[in-house]
Chains A and B, each alone.
Chain A
Amino acid sequence: MHTILRVRRFNPESPNPAPYDQEYVLDLEPSETVLDGLLKIRETVDDSLTLRCSCRGAICGSCGMRINGHAMLACKTKIVTVAPHGGLIRVEPMSNMPVIKDLVTDMEPFWQKIRQVEPWLQPEGPPPETEYVVPQAAMQHLTGVMACIMCGVCVSDCTVWEVDSTFLGPAALAKAYRFVADPRDAATMRRLLALNQPTGMWDCTRCMECVEVCPKHVAPMDRIMALRAKGMSARVPSTCGSRHAEVFTDIIRQKGRLDEPLLAVKTLGLRNWGRLLSMLPLAIQSFIHRKLPPSGPLHRAIPGIRSIRRIFARVEKRS
């Protein structure tokens, strides 16, 4: 199949180190991978092309790169899935981390965040004589998150990291969940308190980029949501994030639909005068444009609200 790989090149040692695109025309089988194509270029056309790879089987997590605008493992991405009829395929290094050369990125910011969540088991008491024994059912739900191969693909496409590199990011937060939810770990509360801080679990936008791009179906965002639920259950100090979820749920219980001004005020906190005052111009702006929604007693519940309240009571009793 006639394929053009347009590869983003960058050589910091060249006299003009600005990134540029270089096109390579290849004949590839539909079942071959993008990595096959890149290796063919390196072996037969241009041995200066720099990339990182090892296992070629989606196990080592070395060949993360952006293919047609989304981060993927090049060894797991078949030509037919990104260019079903041949033609152009764009290949770039992963985003949200510095580029060392061509398609090779510096993973240090990624590893620094992983280390930050203390990714090791912290049990209590003296170690047992043999191994720690736990029922299989208590560990089974962790198999998905333990499938993470640390490829960095989720971090590359994270929409929060893009604007704030202090964010812990999807990989580290998923890793944190792996230990918070491990029945053998005794540092749960300390971990949750750390994750409850700014740049932690509440800074995720729930955009689902990480869920979509993860090559091992770890679903990092789902783990972040599970961390939030665990934090709220453990009653870690409230934040705007936890209050938002609590108040939102309570409003739906009471009214069946959202009372937006009430949600904003209660999320920010009634004593948070600074933030509340900063929202005042927005309320005035909405009023002037005739789009300030009714709130409080002026905001009516949906018809049939009793049915909603009964459902809340039934589900909450079960869980």
Chain B
Amino acid sequence: MKYAFFPGCVAKGACPELYQSMMAVYPRLGIELEEMHTASCTGAGVLQEKNVQLGDVLNARTFALAEQRGLPIMTICSTCQGVMSQANARLTADARYLDEVNHILAEEGLTYSGSVQVKHFLWILLEDFGEDRLRSALTQPLQGLRAAPFYGCYLQRPTEALQFDRYPGRAAALERVMEIVGVDVVDFPGKTRCCGFPILTINERNSMSMVAMHTSEAKRHGADIMVTPCPLCHLNLDGMQRRAAHQQKTKIDLPILHLPQLLGLAMGLSPRALGLTRNIVSPDSALAKLGITV
């Protein structure tokens, strides 16, 4: 299995431990990755506030580059996945619009036919790799660890662009992978809600209220850790958690792990190799439950 790898800005920027853990994990799954160094940012829904078509052309360029290589795209960010899925849905739903976008791309020597599959690593694990192969790649089941899932909005909505009707397993894919990894999945209502990151600079109070609400709720339900496939959620839930706790005059201390970090632990990789020392909220006490020391 080979993919055109689209890491996204945050995995190569403010969340380097996501990229680091992904690089540590994927060879053990036998997946081949070809990183898309010349691909641009998806626009993250922010550039689209200014100009939706501009976002669609930039994403069509990325799709065309993958098409040239004959590869599906793999993402590791809920936001990148959601924005690309929405762009792909608009481009493939309307042949005239696709023609218009291709006309703009033509001067770059590129054309997009509409055939590219864009898949988050989470979905690839279940849909392409398969549960049995995933199980066989794990050497250290994480039994005894209680983990809460947190998706990131764009990996849950809108369900039409994310093709939930065609792939019904996507709605609860994170819980499924976590079960296979061996953790006790802690279900809580906030798992599909917003982490508050998009309004961090606009309304910090509301953003922190969301961080505190979801992390406290997961903790109340008994979680030792939270796991997310979205680095933007991670930035807020991990990096801003202390500030959120301070605002709500409470103590939270819930370690937030990236999905590849969790998988890496179940493969017996060291916390250091997975960049866990870079996480802001220390996972030490949670990992101690598994007999793992950082």
Contact = CB atoms under 8 A, between A and B. Distances in A.
A86 B104 CA distance: 51
Nearest to B12: A257
B40 interface: yes
Contacts of B206: 160, 163-164, 167, 203
Nearest to A314: B104
Contact of B39 (A163, A241, A267, A302): A302
A291 B14 CA distance: 6
A312 B54 contact: yes
A246 B50 CA distance: 7
A314 B107 contact: yes
B51 A319 contact: yes
Given A258-B41, A312-B54, A225 B201 contact: no
Contacts of A248: 44, 46-47
B46 A256 contact: no
A311 interface: yes
Given A268-B201, A310-B107, A315-B57, A303 B38 contact: yes
Interface stretch (A72-80, A105-113, A204-212): A204-212
Interface string A273-298: 00100000010011001111100000
A264 B201 contact: yes
A206 B201 contact: no
Nearest to A161: B206
Contacts of B81: none
B279 interface: yes
Contacts of B243: 282
A241 B202 CA distance: 6
Contact of B41 (A198, A228, A256, A267): A256
A11 interface: no
A252 B10 contact: no
Nearest to A312: B54
A240 interface: yes
A257 B58 CA distance: 11
B157 A212 contact: yes
B108 interface: yes
Contacts of A167: 206
Contacts of B61: 307-308, 311
B58 A159 contact: no
Given A252-B43, A286-B14, A208 B158 contact: yes
Contacts of B182: none
Interface in B230-248: 239-240, 243
Nearest to A279: B201
Given A225-B48, A289-B280, A291-B15, A260 B10 contact: yes
B247 to A, nearest CB: 11
Contacts, number: 167
Interface in B1-59: 9-10, 12-17, 37-41, 43-51, 53-54, 57-58
A181 interface: no
**Chain B interface secondary structure, helix, strand, loop or mixed?**
loop
Contacts of A202: 199, 202-203
Is the interface on chain A under 10, 10 to 19, 20 to 34, or 35 or more residues? 35 or more
Is the interface on chain B under 10, 10 to 19, 20 to 34, or 35 or more residues? 35 or more
B150 interface: no
Contacts of A312: 54
A308 B58 contact: yes
Contacts of B201: 240, 244, 264, 267-268, 275
B271 interface: no
Contacts of A275: 201
B273 interface: no
Contact of B50 (A163, A249, A302, A311): A249
B193 interface: yes
Given A248-B44, A260-B10, A203 B210 contact: no
B189 A207 contact: no
A239 B278 contact: no
Interface string A236-271: 000111001110110010001111100010011000
A252 B13 contact: no
A28 interface: no
Contacts of B54: 249, 311-312, 315-316, 319
A257 to B, nearest CB: 5
B55 to A, nearest CB: 9
A60 interface: no
Given A249-B50, A260-B13, A289-B279, A208 B203 contact: no
Contact of A285 (B37, B107, B280): B280
Contact of A252 (B41, B45, B49, B189): B41
A190 to B, nearest CB: 22
B47 A198 contact: no
B123 interface: no
Given A239-B202, A249-B54, A315-B57, 11 more contacts: A160-B194, A207-B157, A225-B49, A244-B46, A248-B44, A249-B46, A257-B13, A260-B9, A311-B54, A311-B61, A319-B53
10 contacts: A163-B213, A228-B49, A245-B47, A258-B13, A282-B239, A291-B14, A291-B15, A311-B57, A314-B104, A315-B104
Complex A-B, nearest 5 residue pairs according to Cβ-Cβ distance, in ascending order: A258-B9, A163-B209, A207-B194, A304-B38, A293-B13
